[in-house]
Amino acid sequence: MTGNDYLHILRSAPALLLFLRPDDDFTIVDASDAYLRQTYTVREEVIGQGIFSVFPDDPADPEASGVRNLRSSLERVRALKREDAMPIQKYAVRRPESEGGGFEERWWHPQNAPVLDANGEVEFIIHRVDDATEIVRLKRAEERARARAERGFRATEILDSITEGFFALDREWRFTYLNREGRLLLGRQADRALGRSVWEALPGLEGTGFEDAFRHAMDDRDAAAITAHYPGHDRWYDAHVYPSPDGISIYLRDVTAQREGETERQRIRAQAEQQRRVFETALANIPDLVYIFGLDHRFVFANEPLLNVWGVTREQAIGKTCLELGYPAWEARMHDREIDEVIASRKPIQGEVPFEGATGRRYWDYIFAPVFGPEGDVIAVAGTARDTTDRRIWEESIASQSALLHEADRAKDEFLATLAHELRNPLAPLRNSVHLLRMRPAADETTVRIHEMMARQVDHLVRLVDDLLEISRVTRGDFALRTERVDLATVIRNALETCEPIVRVRRHQLRMTLPAEPLWVDADPVRLAQVVANLLDNAAKYTPPGGNIELAAGVEDGSAVVRVRDDGMGIAPDAVHRVFEMFNRGGRAELQGDGGLGIGLALARRLAQMHGATLDVASDGVGRGSVFTLRHPLAGAAAVASAVQPTRPAPDLKALRVLVVDDNRDAADSLGMLLEQLGAHVRIVHNGIEAIEAYSTFQPSAVLLDIGMPGMDGYEVARKITTLDRGRRAPLIAVTGWGQQQDRERAAAAGFDHHIVKPADIDVLKDLLAAIG
């Protein structure tokens, strides 16, 4: 049965019902059709209105107290959460204008009952009334009749004033009197009923229970009462028959509405019983365990799955406690405590337990919840339990896989760090040597081109190593930006310097459009330049030689925008969304031999996101070029003078004494030669013991110290130098292939003042040494 079916039943019920919310106005939620008819109201006009605004007291009656009395009763129901029956109340009803308007005197017998929700709170109030107007009038009529009798009025006047039908029959079964209501019941036959037989006036009466009652009173001179259906009117009547000196007297009242209401109630009870059977059948067949405890902790219901787990029949289980059904003593005691807690707190409780049953050892996630009675008190504790064994196995498997993945990720990071260290060691002397060669006069143009080519390729290798480590650091969150206010044009020019060699070698036409006014952004200038450089580098790699690259910067929708466009090989539609994935080159790897590792764009997007920026790509397809768009928030309106840094003079290293310590002789010798070319006085040693001796004799201005040396490593050398020279010692600069955050922190703890990753950026190293000098 649906909710609409229940609504139809409630509205069609013959009882006079109002459904109210327990708010301050006691708002009307719905009403039975019978109530609406009796009160001359329409459902659409009363629903949503406060009961007292729809049904006020008669303003012309100064003694009217219906509103006050009804409000008091409703407030008691709301506060005490129990039914409140009121004595018969005088409560006038407003007549519609079509019937003359004004108020009609009515008497009611109200009963107000709460409907509680699952938490025991009053959700609705059912206001039921019986129209007692006729009863009151009858009593008044009887009182008037007695008064009139005392004053000598005739009995017929009294009988005509009552609302029940009254007939008098003589011993020949002929009508001798009908009161006004009796004539209404007989209808058209009333005018010719007097003197006629009751069997003739009311055909179909013979053979019914009415005939038996009439004859019993007539023959046995004893009162009789019956409620039965009279087919001639298709109505139900309540008849009281009394013997009289001349025959019998009959009081007849139409109770059709009450009988139909009782029939409807019986039908509802039958449907409720059917629903109960349906619910029990459903609960018996769901996979979850469903059960109900009585307040004595004994089971009063258990569905079939639970009986199967116990391995008992319903008859063997009902009325038993957990302990009696074979639960371990500790678990039975725990459930007893939980049941008591639910009853006391009126709140659910959850838990998980292992259970050894007919199906073996399983784990169950269960809940106990209170069941509230009509008075709002807890009358039982219901519960469900779900088998979580498979979920636990799955969760343990996930945890195991997570641990394996975490270990694999740690091993990957360790591998990348080791790989970077091993690659940086040979790269350091290569970069130093290339820098030395470029500092010497070239024999011819071919030599210059060879030097430039070597520098480009070494720089390319360094960038690959840096990208490998940086994407790992960004992913782990071990990476922090050094933000300052910077002009976006400066960032772009720095990025262009990085990419200019590959653009020149591939003979691309690069057109750059920058705004006339500065575009200030709050960013890490080095990392933001790295983002733009990766976009230019990507465009250069995937655009055939002689192609076109456009870089434009400006303001769009309140953001600084850098757009890099190329007419290169483009991206297939199904590969666009994978361009920014790690080690993915958008399906272009098979078409391009020097596309790198597929890290640059992934790193660029992560760095952009760390800046609060976005990086997107668009392409019309293979062979139709690509457009990468970087959108970065503009800086606020604060003064930007501090963002303009004064130009520093070229560093002068002639006054410096530099101690170079590295077990890699090529790295140490090439770095020493490079520093000597820059004017510094250099001492080179290749192990930790020599470093400590040279520090004492050479008295350097700065120490460039490798960390990963055999025997005494750089950390120990730094600690010993710090111990030996407790005065104003020379700054210690770590020049190492270990460049992760934990390596920097460990170096600082050992006493290093600075940390440079191999192969050292010569310009950075020169600036650092110049600052020390």
Query: Which whole-number Å values give the CA distances from 280 to 58, 276, 277, 290, in the listed order?
Result: 51, 6, 5, 10
Tens of pLDDT, residues 627-678? 999 999 998 754 444 444 444 454 567 778 999 999 888 888 888 888 888 8
In this prediction, residue 195 carries a pLDDT of 81
In this prediction, residue 204 carries a pLDDT of 82
Query: Which whole-number Å values give the CA distances from 633 to 51, 519, 607, in the listed order?
Result: 59, 10, 14
Q: Which residue has the higher pLDDT, 321 or 395?
A: 321
Grade residue 685 by pLDDT with cuts at 50, 70 and 90: very high
Q: Which residue has the higher pLDDT, 739 or 290?
A: 290
In this prediction, residue 733 carries a pLDDT of 92
In this prediction, residue 478 carries a pLDDT of 56
- What one-letter code names the amino acid at 513? T
81-101: average pLDDT:
89
Angle at CA 727, nearest 5°, toward 724 and 732? 70
205-214: average pLDDT:
87
d(CA 420, CA 740): 10
Q: Collapsing DSSP states into helix, strand and coil, what is residue 226?
A: strand
- What one-letter code names the amino acid at 521? V
Poorest-confidence range of 81-85, 136-140, 330-334, 465-469?
465-469
Q: Are 429 and 669 in contact (CB under 8 A)?
A: yes
- What one-letter code names the amino acid at 688? G
**What secondary structure does DSSP assign to 402-427, as a single string?**
HHHHHHHHHHHHHHHHHHHHHHHHHH
Q: Collapsing DSSP states into helix, strand and coil, what is residue 349?
A: strand
47-57: average pLDDT:
93
Tens of pLDDT, residues 503-533? 888 888 989 988 888 999 999 887 888 889 8
pLDDT higher than threshold 50 for residue 302: yes
d(CA 580, CA 115): 60
pLDDT higher than threshold 60 for residue 361: yes
Poorest-confidence range of 104-113, 652-661, 688-697?
652-661
Q: In degrees to the nearest 10, what's the CA dihedral of 730, 735, 738, 742? A: 30
pLDDT higher than threshold 50 for residue 622: yes
Q: Are 559 and 634 in contact (CB under 8 A)?
A: yes
Beta bridge partners of 239: 226, 252
Grade residue 592 by pLDDT with cuts at 50, 70 and 90: very low
d(CA 512, CA 553): 8
In this prediction, residue 590 carries a pLDDT of 46
Q: What's the whole-model pTM score?
A: 0.37
Q: Collapsing DSSP states into helix, strand and coil, what is residue 640?
A: coil
Q: Which helix (H) or strand (E) holds 485?
A: strand 484-487
> The tokens of 10 are what?
């409630």
pLDDT higher than threshold 70 for residue 572: yes
Poorest-confidence range of 326-330, 360-364, 434-438, 765-769?
434-438
pLDDT higher than threshold 70 for residue 438: no
Residue ranges and CATH numbers for the domains of the chain are 3-131 (3.30.450.20), 164-254 (3.30.450.20), 287-387 (3.30.450.20), 416-466+651-773 (3.40.50.2300), 480-643 (3.30.565.10)
d(CA 157, CA 180): 10
pLDDT higher than threshold 70 for residue 132: yes
Tens of pLDDT, residues 376-422? 899 999 888 888 777 777 777 777 787 777 777 666 666 666 666 66
227-238: average pLDDT:
85
Phi, psi of 640 (to 5 degrees): -110, 10
In this prediction, residue 160 carries a pLDDT of 66
Q: Collapsing DSSP states into helix, strand and coil, what is residue 292?
A: strand
- Average pLDDT of every residue of the chain: 81
Tens of pLDDT, residues 259-278? 777 777 777 777 767 766 66
In this prediction, residue 623 carries a pLDDT of 85
Grade residue 738 by pLDDT with cuts at 50, 70 and 90: confident
Q: Which residue has the higher pLDDT, 654 or 330?
A: 330
Poorest-confidence range of 131-140, 219-228, 548-557?
131-140
% of the chain beyond a pLDDT of 70: 79
In this prediction, residue 25 carries a pLDDT of 92
Phi, psi of 86 (to 5 degrees): -100, 150
Q: What's the farthest any 2 CA atoms get from each other in the chain?
A: 155
583-606: average pLDDT:
62
Beta bridge partners of 520: 487
